[in-house]
């Protein structure tokens, strides 16, 4: 091409537009490069390359960082980026001119990175749960007040088309004023068990499943019924996992972790990392640095979270909810019913169970081969109006992986955004706070055997 030709193409409107888009792309850093980070890293390296630029990765584990960078180039086709340890977090932000930090580290560390990112001039995007307890929640709300920065909490479930459809039906007033909700969530012995193998099993890390997992469910209810929790009572126990429970059921062979253990070969609950490349490289080959053992026996000692929880919630709208979470179910999914002044909406979903970071999956998750409980039982949304025949409500069916298709739509909203959403699916620190308050209050209720005033707790954490 001649110089003149080259000059001309440089000045063409199309090229100028591309340059403008590229130069206004936000610069992102990801902190915590385990399983969940891959969804964001892959999106910024491929589908959303034009909308945002990944400029740095941060994690205390250098082996995991190196592997994340290798995946970035070899799997996702992008150039490796700068890597930093958490002690150099602020240096990373200034040197790499980061606009937004994406927080995908373990739950108990979220507040630290959100606050530090904001103090250094960045916005933050945080994986759920926003954080794990009231003190850390206060620190986040203080930082937002002090800095005026924005926090987005990535509630992917809101974006699953069928969950959005529930919101539309409730918004339409089809069942009138919502008076009560009955909600049961089941985690199976593959996905549910996974929380008992690794860091989540210590309540200080995750807030237990009441916070770590149920933040999704409590957020959905807050959003669906357009209200916030007012008071909470809860009971919960470890009834299935853990050594003591297994002993009571007659188990006599115990082990500490799967790797290198012959008993584990006979345990259907065991996770075998050596045969799965991503698990092996992300965790097994990195564990000498931080002692993170991904494959602990679910029937070993040292578990401080519950696997069976019942919660009773009163909402500020006057509605009430009975909620139950079971983490040792033979199948995975949920059932919810809303009772209103004009009728009742029933919604049943069978979910595809997965183990985070298994091989061959696009979002760092892999569907597990289900035995006896096929994952393709269709979801069902049924509207019962007083005095009328039941109506089966149609909704967009998708076989996309990643939380019922929620992940893809969430990423579009995060990295492109800009469109008015009548369903208000984007969640900020206020929704993030309300979603964890039910779980935090439930943890207090379980420990102190008393109902908890959530409005009082909310005033405390919002300052």
Binding site for ligand NAD (CB under 6 A): 31-36, 59-61, 64, 86, 104-107, 109, 127-128, 154, 156, 212, 356-357, 403
In angstroms, what is the minimal distance from the CB of 445 to ligand NAD? 22
In angstroms, what is the minimal distance from the CB of 207 to ligand NAD? 10
Nearer of residues 215 and 231 to ligand NAD, judged by Cβ: 215
Q: Which residue is nearest to ligand NAD (CB)?
A: 34
Nearer of residues 130 and 174 to ligand NAD, judged by Cβ: 130
Nearer of residues 34 and 52 to ligand NAD, judged by Cβ: 34
Nearer of residues 117 and 246 to ligand NAD, judged by Cβ: 117
Query: Which among 438, 456, 462 has a CA at the least distance from the CA of 216?
Result: 438
In angstroms, what is the minimal distance from the CB of 391 to ligand NAD? 31
Nearer of residues 236 and 404 to ligand NAD, judged by Cβ: 404
Range 273-288 burial, b when 16+ CB lie within 10 A, else e = beebebbbbbbbebbe
Nearer of residues 112 and 123 to ligand NAD, judged by Cβ: 112
In angstroms, what is the minimal distance from the CB of 30 to ligand NAD? 10
Nearer of residues 339 and 358 to ligand NAD, judged by Cβ: 358
Nearer of residues 136 and 344 to ligand NAD, judged by Cβ: 136
In angstroms, what is the minimal distance from the CB of 106 to ligand NAD? 5
In angstroms, what is the minimal distance from the CB of 67 to ligand NAD? 10
Nearer of residues 343 and 439 to ligand NAD, judged by Cβ: 439
Nearer of residues 158 and 230 to ligand NAD, judged by Cβ: 158
In angstroms, what is the minimal distance from the CB of 42 to ligand NAD? 13
In angstroms, what is the minimal distance from the CB of 8 to ligand NAD? 47
In angstroms, what is the minimal distance from the CB of 250 to ligand NAD? 32
In angstroms, what is the minimal distance from the CB of 424 to ligand NAD? 18
3-state secondary structure the chain: CCHHHHHHHHHCHHHHHHHHHHHCCEEEEEECCCCCHHHHHHHHHCCCCCCEEEEEEECCCHHHHHHHHHHHHHCCCCCCCEEECHHHHHHHHHHCCCCEEEECCCHHHHHHHHHHHHHCCCEEEECCCCCCCHHHHHHHHHHHHHHCCCEEECCHHHHCHHHHHHHHHHHCCCCCCEEEEEEEEEEECCHHHHCCCCHHHCHHHHCHHHHHCHHHHHHHHHHHHCCCEEEEEEEEECCCCCHHHHHHCCCCCCCCECCCCCCHHHCCCCCCCCCCHHHHHHCHHHHHHHCCCCCECCCCCCCCCCCEEEEEEEECCCCEEEEEEEEEECCCEEEEEEEECCEEEEEEEECCCEEECCCCCCCCEEECCCCCCCCCCCCEEEEEECCCCCEECCCCCCCCCCCCCHHHHHHHHHHCCCCCCCCCCCECHHHHHHHHHHHHHHHHHHHHCCCEEHHHHHHHHHC
Task: Give φ, ψ of 162 to 5 degrees.
Answer: -70, -35
């Amino acid at each position: 091409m001649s110089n003149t030709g080259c000059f001309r193409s440089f000045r063409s409107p199309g090229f100028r537009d591309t340059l403008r888009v590229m130069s206004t792309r936000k610069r992102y850093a990801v902190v915590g490069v385990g399983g969940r980070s891959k969804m964001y890293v892959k999106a910024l390296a491929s589908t959303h390359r034009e909308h945002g630029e990944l400029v740095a990765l941060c994690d205390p584990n250098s082996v995991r960082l190196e592997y994340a960078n290798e995946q970035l180039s070899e799997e996702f086709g992008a150039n490796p980026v700068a890597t930093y340890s958490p002690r150099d977090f602020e240096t990373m932000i200034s040197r790499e001119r980061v606009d937004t930090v994406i927080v995908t580290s373990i739950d108990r560390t979220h507040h630290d990175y959100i606050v530090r990112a904001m103090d250094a001039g960045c916005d933050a995007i945080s994986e759920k749960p926003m954080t794990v307890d009231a003190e850390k929640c206060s620190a986040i709300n203080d930082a937002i007040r002090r800095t005026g920065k924005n926090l987005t909490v990535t509630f992917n479930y809101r974006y699953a088309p069928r969950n959005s459809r529930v919101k539309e039906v409730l918004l339409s007033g089809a069942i009138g004023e919502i008076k009560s909700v009955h909600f049961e969530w089941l985690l199976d012995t593959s996905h549910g068990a996974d929380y008992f193998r690794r860091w989540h099993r210590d309540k200080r890390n995750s807030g237990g499943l009441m916070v770590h997992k149920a933040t999704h469910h409590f957020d959905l209810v807050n959003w669906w019924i357009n209200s916030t929790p007012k008071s909470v009572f809860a009971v919960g126990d470890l009834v299935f996992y853990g050594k003591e429970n297994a002993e009571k059921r007659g188990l006599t062979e115990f082990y500490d972790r799967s790797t290198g253990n012959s008993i584990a070969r006979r345990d259907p609950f065991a996770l075998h990392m050596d045969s799965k490349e991503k698990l092996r490289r992300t965790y097994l080959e990195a564990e000498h640095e931080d002692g993170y053992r991904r494959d602990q026996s679910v029937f070993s000692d040292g578990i401080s979270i519950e696997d069976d929880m019942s919660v009773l919630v009163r909402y500020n709208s006057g509605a009430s909810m009975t909620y139950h979470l079971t983490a040792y179910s033979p199948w995975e999914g949920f059932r919810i019913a809303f009772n209103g002044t004009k009728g009742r909406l029933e919604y049943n979903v069978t979910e595809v169970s997965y183990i985070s970071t298994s091989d061959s999956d696009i979002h760092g998750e892999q569907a597990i081969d289900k035995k006896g409980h096929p994952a393709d039982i269709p979801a069902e949304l049924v509207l019962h109006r007083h005095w009328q025949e039941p109506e089966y409500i149609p909704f967009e069916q998708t076989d996309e992986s990643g939380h019922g298709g929620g992940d893809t739509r969430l990423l579009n909203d995060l990295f492109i955004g800009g469109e008015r959403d009548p369903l208000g699916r984007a969640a900020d620190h206020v929704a993030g706070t309300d979603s964890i308050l039910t779980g935090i209050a439930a943890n207090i209720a379980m420990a102190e055997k008393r109902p908890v005033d959530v409005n009082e707790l909310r005033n405390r954490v919002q300052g």
